[in-house]
């Protein structure tokens, strides 16, 4: 069975590296993997997105609306923007640390206060939202740059068909060696968040 993971965030958050780690972990677990992400179209702070699809045989990285098993939202407003991609009963992993867009900074719009409830929905179309301020969790480890590795740890619990050692190997293969120990610690912290 193919698994569909959607990622949403803003420029400068490290979505490309996050996508690469997820893809590498799935590949090391023996799955066929297809992935894409939007890069180069966004200035720092603009919207970025990516997708990872893995399974026995995958022909395209594209995920149709309402077909994502998991949405990894690196920022709340981007989580809301991409929430329509998640299927009923799917999971949204939401980093609650906000990065206000330009209209909010310019005081021309307000940042929505009810994002988690709007993402969760209700009734048959409801999804499970697991929200955490991953930035604060990373800050507690002493380096905010491992924020996405915290969220990858959370994702690894949802994607039970990828063994933990495959995640470790993917992190080891992709993150800079000087930050490897801290990234592995952030990953394990993310696995503990429920």
d(CA 44, CA 96): 19
Query: Please, which residues bridge with residue 86 across strands?
Result: 68
Task: Give residue 21's pLDDT.
Answer: 98
Task: Give residue 53's pLDDT.
Answer: 98
Answer yes or no: are the C-beta atoms of 77 and 39 closer than 8 Å: no
pLDDT tens sequence across 58-108? 999 999 999 999 999 999 999 999 999 999 999 999 999 998 887 788 888
pTM equals: 0.93
The residue ranges of every structural domain in the chain are 3-192
Q: What Cα–Cα distance (Å) separates residue 50 from each residue in 18, 38, 73?
A: 9, 6, 10
Task: Flag residues of the chain having pLDDT under 50.
Answer: none
Task: Give residue 13's pLDDT.
Answer: 86
Task: Give residue 39's pLDDT.
Answer: 61
What is the CATH number that goes with domain 3-192? Answer: 3.40.920.10
């Amino acid at each position: 069975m193919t698994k569909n993971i959607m990622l949403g965030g803003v420029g400068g958050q490290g979505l490309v590296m996050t996508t690469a780690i997820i893809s590498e972990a799935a590949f090391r677990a023996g799955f066929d993997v297809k992935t894409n992400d939007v890069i180069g179209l966004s200035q720092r702070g603009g919207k970025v997105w990516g997708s990872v699809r893995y399974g026995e045989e995958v022909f395209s990285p594209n995920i149709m609306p309402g077909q994502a098993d998991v949405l990894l939202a690196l920022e709340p407003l981007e989580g809301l923007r991409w929430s329509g991609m998640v299927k009923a009963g799917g999971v949204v992993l939401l980093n609650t640390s906000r990065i206000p867009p330009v209209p909010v900074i310019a005081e021309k719009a307000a940042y929505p206060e009810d994002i988690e409830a709007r993402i969760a929905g209700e009734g048959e179309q409801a999804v499970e939202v697991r929200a955490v301020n991953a930035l604060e969790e990373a800050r507690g480890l002493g380096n905010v740059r491992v924020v996405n590795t915290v969220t990858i740890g959370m994702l690894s619990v949802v994607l039970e068909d990828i063994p933990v050692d495959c995640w470790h190997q993917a992190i080891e293969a992709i993150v800079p060696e000087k930050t490897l120990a801290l990234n592995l610690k952030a990953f394990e912290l993310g696995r503990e968040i429920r």
